[in-house]
A and B are shown apart, each in its own frame.
Chain A
Amino acid sequence: DVKVTQSSRYLVKRTGEKVFLECVQDMDHENMFWYRQDPGLGLRLIYFSYDVKMKEKGDIPEGYSVSREKKERFSLILESASTNQTSMYLCASSPRTSDTQYFGPGTRLTVL
């Protein structure tokens, strides 16, 4: 079974803090993704990565950065958290040539 884990299920941070969200997958997938999920908006792609040290901007990259130093780990960084970044964050992975994504359980981030 593919497993995608995220470091925290719930996180509360203050405005201006630097926030790290970690995602680890155990199936040797090349592709990894970060989405945010908001009611009525579905999932929106923040960043994705096709390989170690590679990253591509998604549809809403502003205010975020990512790091992929190892194949199994993809980190999302909020350089200076703001209240409008309060959301559910979902990580996903997929093999290089497959369109099926496997999702982690999500991190619900609240920025006060």
Chain B
Amino acid sequence: AQSVTQLGSHVSVSEGALVLLRCNYSSSVPPYLFWYVQYPNQGLQLLLKYTSAATLVKGINGFEAEFKKSETSFHLTKPSAHMSDAAEYFCAVSGTSYDKVIFGPGTSLSVIP
């Protein structure tokens, strides 16, 4: 069975500062891991995904995430926050490409000018 925890339901950063959103997972098999973003009044869209290739995954809009098996983590980072990054971010896990995807509770990111 898979599960996801996201530390911090709300994170605030200043414009230009580092963004770090934390995700830890639990999986009985090698996981597939995802980050989705939800902008206000919109559905979710895929930011990036890890599927057992390179451990450092680059996504859209300058975001990247690193898979660390020893820490069971898949934290999302961006070197410099932009006002347009304000959104809800969801980490998700599945056991295979055919499995159900399990979503975390989400982290709301605010960017302060």
Contacts A40-B9, A99-B51; A45 near B43 (Cβ below 8 A): no
Main SS of chain B's interface residues?
loop
Contact indicator A58/B100 (Cβ below 8 Å): yes
Interface string of A38-56 (1 = CB under 8 A from B): 0011111100100000000
Q: How many chain B residues touch the partner (CB < 8 A)?
A: 25
- Contact among B46, B90, B96 for A42, CB-based, below 8 A: B90
Chain A positions within 8 Å of B104 at CB level: 42
CA distance A48 to B39 in the complex (A): 24
CB distance from A16 to the nearest CB of B (A): 29
Instruction: Verify A43–B90 contact, CB threshold 8 A.
Output: yes
Chain B, range 1-56, C-beta contacts under 8 Å to A:
4, 9, 32, 34, 36, 41-46, 49, 51
Q: Name the B residues within 8 Å of A35 (CB-CB).
A: 103
With A99-B49, A103-B43, A103-B44 as contacts: A41 and B105 at CB distance below 8 Å: yes
| B101 interface hit (Cβ, 8 Å) | yes
Selected A-B contacts with CB under 8 Å, 27 pairs: A4-B43, A40-B106, A42-B103, A42-B104, A42-B106, A43-B44, A43-B90, A44-B103, A45-B100, A58-B100, A92-B44, A97-B97, A97-B98, A98-B97, A99-B32, A99-B34, A99-B49, A99-B98, A99-B99, A99-B101, A100-B34, A101-B44, A103-B36, A103-B44, A104-B43, A105-B41, A105-B43
